[in-house]
């Protein structure tokens, strides 16, 4: 029994040893197969490097540069997918953002235009009442209309000189042509790799220089040389085309950004001028009236007399208290005024007006250029007494 058991045990050990040996042999064969494949491809690469095809440092760097240019311009196209690099999205995102800004601005302009129209309508319909609010509303509506016109000019520039040129730079024919060359170059590069591997395979099998295999090897080598020459020429052409496209995109984007800044500077400069003029007019309206924001209505305190009525009384410029005297004075116009109601007198800056009377509500009556009427007292500045006057102003 012990002998049989030892026999069986010895047989089992032998079987186990045989199994381990088989596994080790399989592993050895697999490792040798992988090693041979690795050596085979390394030999191909060494051969390509020795023949200065494209795997030396200069060729690798050139290929990487071309690939970078392709990815950059590809990501700049509107329809292409994201690649994760912020700089590659710049032209595409710039177009989208500018177009979004234009769309939002147009909607805002419609709201402001409606506000301006309502203010002008109110001011026009209530001018006969002499309401300071009506005059202020008319000034406000007119100025807002001017601002809307300035905004329309800005939107037109952004569309014609910023958005459209940027879109053309990322969807135009030069980019498509350069990208087509890049795809051709990539296909040809793969053909060269396949042909180089074929040459290496035939070189390893060719033993007899006079056999048929030798002739096939020579044909394969000749085809490889032809493909190499074509690849070098196409690489140079493709790199130049892609570089030109990228340079053009950068120049266009730079110029369009500058055009956008110039347009916005002009818009804001003109807008400030309009707002300053509007502010001045509203402040003057407030100064020449005792109008209060808490009042429901406001009426002019002094009845506007006929323009030909002989009124010669005047109040001193320092008091403006509504008292009257027997003399009149000459005043210089320091702010223009457009008559908007019957009985009012239009004023032009630097002209002179003969002031006949000054009312307590901030309005004065006088004559200028042969016309008589009422005007805001704050719009003029007393200059001198009329000839023959003896009282001090």
Provide the pLDDT for residue 154: 95
Provide the pLDDT for residue 69: 55
Statement to judge: residues 206 and 330 lie in one domain: no
Provide the pLDDT for residue 73: 53
Cα separation, 393 vs 375, in Å, equals: 20
Statement to judge: residues 176 and 221 lie in one domain: yes
Provide the pLDDT for residue 391: 39
Q: Report yes or no on 74 lying in a domain.
A: no
Could you give the number of structural domains in the chain?
2
Q: Report yes or no on 275 lying in a domain.
A: yes
Q: Report yes or no on 376 lying in a domain.
A: yes
Cα separation, 261 vs 267, in Å, equals: 10
Instruction: Give me the helices (H) in the chain, please.
Output: 2-50, 57-76, 90-125, 132-158, 164-171, 173-205, 212-287
Statement to judge: residues 106 and 224 lie in one domain: yes
Q: Report yes or no on 266 lying in a domain.
A: yes
Statement to judge: residues 135 and 224 lie in one domain: yes
Tens place of pLDDT per residue across the chain (393 aa): 444 444 444 444 444 343 434 333 444 445 555 455 445 445 544 444 444 444 455 555 555 655 665 555 554 443 333 333 334 478 888 888 999 999 999 999 999 999 999 999 999 988 877 778 888 899 999 999 999 999 999 999 999 999 888 888 777 677 777 777 778 888 888 888 888 888 888 777 776 666 677 788 888 888 888 888 888 887 888 777 777 777 888 888 899 999 999 999 999 999 999 999 999 888 888 776 653 443 333 334 444 444 334 333 333 343 333 333 446 788 889 988 888 887 889 999 888 888 888 888 788 899 888 888 999 988 998 876 544 443 333
Provide the pLDDT for residue 219: 83
Provide the pLDDT for residue 221: 83
Structural domain of residue 353, as residue ranges? 303-393
Q: Report yes or no on 250 lying in a domain.
A: yes
For 350-385, give the DSSP string. T-EEEEEEE-TTSEEEEEETTEEEEEEGGGEEEEEE
Statement to judge: residues 113 and 176 lie in one domain: yes
Cα separation, 3 vs 238, in Å, equals: 83
Tokens of 270: 């003109």
What CATH number does residue 253 fall under?
A: 1.20.1270.60
Q: Report yes or no on 240 lying in a domain.
A: yes
Q: Report yes or no on 362 lying in a domain.
A: yes
Residue at a domain's end among 254, 286, 318: 286
Statement to judge: residues 247 and 389 lie in one domain: no
Statement to judge: residues 251 and 329 lie in one domain: no
Statement to judge: residues 173 and 280 lie in one domain: yes
pTM: 0.49
What CATH number does residue 386 fall under?
A: 2.30.30.40
Residue at a domain's end among 234, 252, 286: 286
């Amino acid at each position: 029994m012990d002998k049989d058991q030892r026999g069986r045990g010895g047989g089992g050990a032998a079987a186990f040893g045989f199994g381990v040996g088989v596994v080790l042999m399989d592993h050895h064969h697999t490792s040798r197969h992988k090693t041979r494949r690795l050596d085979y491809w390394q030999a191909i690469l060494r051969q390509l490097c020795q023949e200065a095809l494209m795997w030396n440092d200069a060729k690798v760097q050139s290929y990487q540069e071309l690939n970078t240019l392709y990815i950059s311009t590809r990501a700049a196209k509107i329809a292409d997918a994201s690649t994760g690099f912020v700089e590659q999205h710049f032209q595409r995102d710039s177009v989208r953002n500018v177009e979004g800004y234009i769309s939002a601005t147009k909607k805002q302009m419609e709201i402001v235009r409606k506000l301006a129209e309502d203010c002008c309508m109110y001011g026009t319909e209530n001018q006969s009442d002499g309401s300071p609010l009506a005059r202020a509303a008319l000034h406000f509506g007119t100025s807002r209309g001017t601002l809307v016109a300035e905004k329309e000019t800005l939107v037109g520039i952004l569309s014609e000189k910023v958005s459209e040129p940027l879109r053309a730079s990322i969807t135009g024919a030069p980019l498509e042509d350069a990208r087509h060359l890049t795809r051709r170059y990539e296909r040809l590069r793969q053909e060269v790799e396949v042909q180089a591997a074929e040459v290496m395979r035939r070189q390893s099998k060719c033993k007899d220089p006079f056999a048929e295999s030798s002739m096939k090897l020579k044909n394969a080598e000749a085809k490889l040389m032809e493909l190499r020459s074509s690849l070098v020429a196409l690489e140079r052409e493709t790199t130049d085309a892609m570089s030109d496209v990228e340079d053009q995109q950068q120049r266009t984007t730079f110029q369009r950004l500058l055009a956008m800044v110039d347009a916005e500077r002009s818009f804001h400069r003109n807008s400030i001028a309009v707002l300053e003029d509007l502010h001045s007019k509203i402040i003057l309206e407030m100064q020449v009236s005792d109008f209060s924001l808490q009042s429901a209505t406001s009426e002019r305190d002094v009845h506007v007399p006929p323009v030909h009525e002989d009124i010669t009384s005047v109040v001193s410029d320092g008091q403006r208290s509504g008292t009257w005297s027997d003399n009149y004075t000459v005043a210089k116009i320091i702010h223009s005024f457009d008559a908007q109601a019957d009985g009012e007198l239009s004023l032009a800056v630097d002209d002179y007006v003969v002031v006949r009377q000054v009312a307590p509500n901030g309005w004065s009556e006088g004559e200028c250029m042969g016309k008589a009427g009422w005007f805001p007292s704050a719009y003029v500045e007393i200059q001198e007494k009329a000839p023959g006057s003896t009282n001090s102003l």
